[in-house]
Amino acid sequence: MVQASPAGDENPERELDIAQWVWSLLRTTIEKLAMEPADQIKDPEIGECFDWDPSYQMSERCEELGWIPAELRQRLDRIEELLSRLSGDRTAWSDEAILTHPLWGQARLVSREAVPLMPKQPWASHSR
């Protein structure tokens, strides 16, 4: 995992590279969370959706660059809340729970709302 740069790092290219990596990780995670539940439990790469913690924690880098508008931030914060609640429930992590647990359904719904708000390369439309 790429570590956050130390305070005072004045290399804008490196900061942009890190922000792009964070965005890509966040976007992939949201796409995985938005999948149909039956597809989630069959996807051999579903573990990528559990990259949520590092991508969410570092998402302010993307927000500072203007890539995360308020509408998207609300959804990201809601996903964080739902996943935190799921993390506290050991029964929520079986295939059956992923298919039927109401919190998983809510997380999928909010993730589906977030996906269209996340262009593949927001840096292409924003200046550095």
> Using one digit for the tens of pLDDT, what is the confidence trace for 36-81?
999 999 988 776 667 898 999 999 999 999 999 999 999 999 999 9
The encoded tokens of residue 74 equal: 């609300």
pLDDT in tens, 13-36: 898 999 999 999 999 999 999 999
Domain ranges of the chain: 12-124
CA distance 56 to 1: 14
Q: Are 123 and 16 in contact (CB under 8 A)?
A: yes
